[in-house]
Amino acid sequence: QVRFVKWALWYHGYRRPQLQRLPADGTAGSRELLLAFSWLLHCPGLLERLLARNRVQTGDGTSVCTCEDDVPKSQEGTSEAGPGGRVDVRYLQWLHGRLRLQWCSLHAQHQEQCKLLHKIHLFTSGSHMDQNLGHFSVTEADLIRHPENYKQLLQLLESETTQLEAFLEWKQLEPVYWQWMETVLDDMAEEGIMCESQDADVEKRRLPEVTSCCPWAAKLAGQMDRLSRDLLALQEQLHQLMAQRKAACWEKVATREELQKERFSATARKAQESTELKLRGLTSLCTPQKNRMHGLCRLVLRNKQPASKMAFGQCVSKEAAAAFSAAEVIRELQVREASLQRELQQLQQQCRTKLDGIAEGLEGVICISP
């Protein structure tokens, strides 16, 4: 459990090394856990996510998101293996295969669920009192078949109301909590400064001064002083030499990379530039508006009606509830799929070109491209 918590926090962006160094038996680290919990409250919005997850759904909803995945530049190309170090590639391949298998199974179950939902919506069409909906949801159909289950639904609604009341109370007392956390951070910062000063004092310890009046002792102390000065001078020279060597190595690497880049074919670079221009044009054409489809929306069956009359009911998004049909979502997702496929082919071609350039510099090795 402790390892899982550390990995989960690392995955979600909490990279504090003091937390990763905590013992696994739980004997220490209460304040580190308090800091991690406060970070979860602030950055990912833990309470809001829990409320959205535990929300009682009386209608048939689905999550729709056509927003672009904006990856920060600081995270692009990172190869961090996490707090545990290196990971075996074969284990990653096994995880990838297992993930694909579970994804196919989930897709098949989702298709079956869509078919059953369509049957319920079609058979109960025209039975609902609300004309905007027109049909029953799965929960409403189950309550009609089993009226005794309304008590369980009522308990769930009361539990959700209690959680919302607790959340409102927390919002009123939240400033007091963050003031207290500021004092905790100040105390930890002071303790960290004290620990650093103690470590510095231990490192600065030297040999005791010679208080004896013996001439051989004074002579030995002078020799030791000269040796220490010589060692310091040699250490400085060594650092300078290492810096010069490192700069020379970086220059060689830079020149070699430039030569390899020059060896790349000009046609590949032109194709890359043209592909990027096409992708930008597709992005500008497909996303001219700022309001993207995002959030949890209620499914409503509409047969041969214009999109302007379609209503999704409630939508858990900060923007105004917008009605859109499944055909619109499918078209936009198909455009995104084509764009991602072109980007994947472009990246594969770049990798092949780099591998060919590396293979040319290897002697006595035969590389067969996949």
Q: What tokens were used for 369? A: 């491209």
Nearest Cα residue to 139 out of 298, 362, 342, 324: 298
**Phi, psi of 133, deg, nearest 5:** -90, -60
Burial degree of 135 (CB within 10 A; 0-12, 13-18, 19+):
buried
Q: What is residue 167's predicted lDDT score, i.e. its pLDDT?
A: 93
Q: How many H-runs (helices) and E-runs (strands) does the chain carry?
A: 10, 2
The β-bridge partners of 63 are 296
Q: What tokens were used for 189? A: 């910062």
- Spans of the chain below 70 pLDDT: 68-85, 192-220, 256-293, 303-323, 369-370
List pLDDT tens digits, range 208-265. 444 444 555 666 677 777 888 888 888 888 888 888 888 888 887 777 666 666 665 5
Looking at residue 370, the DSSP 8-state letter turns out to be -
Looking at residue 24, the DSSP 8-state letter turns out to be T
- Which three-class secondary structure string do you get for 47-108? HHHHHHHCCCCCCCEEEEECCCCCCCHHHCCCCCCCCCCCCCHHHHHHHHHHHHHHHHHHHH
Q: What is residue 261's predicted lDDT score, i.e. its pLDDT?
A: 64
Q: What is residue 205's predicted lDDT score, i.e. its pLDDT?
A: 47
d(CA 92, CA 77): 17
How much is the mean pLDDT over the chain?
A: 75
Q: What is residue 207's predicted lDDT score, i.e. its pLDDT?
A: 41
Q: What is residue 273's predicted lDDT score, i.e. its pLDDT?
A: 66
Beta carbons of 359 and 367 less than 8 angstroms apart:
yes
d(CA 257, CA 354): 11
Task: Give the DSSP H/E element, type plus range, for residue 295.
Answer: strand 294-298
d(CA 5, CA 2): 5
Nearest Cα residue to 340 out of 141, 111, 68: 68
List pLDDT tens digits, range 139-157. 888 888 888 888 888 888 8
Per domain, the residue ranges of the chain are 1-43, 325-362
Q: What is residue 25's predicted lDDT score, i.e. its pLDDT?
A: 80
d(CA 262, CA 267): 12
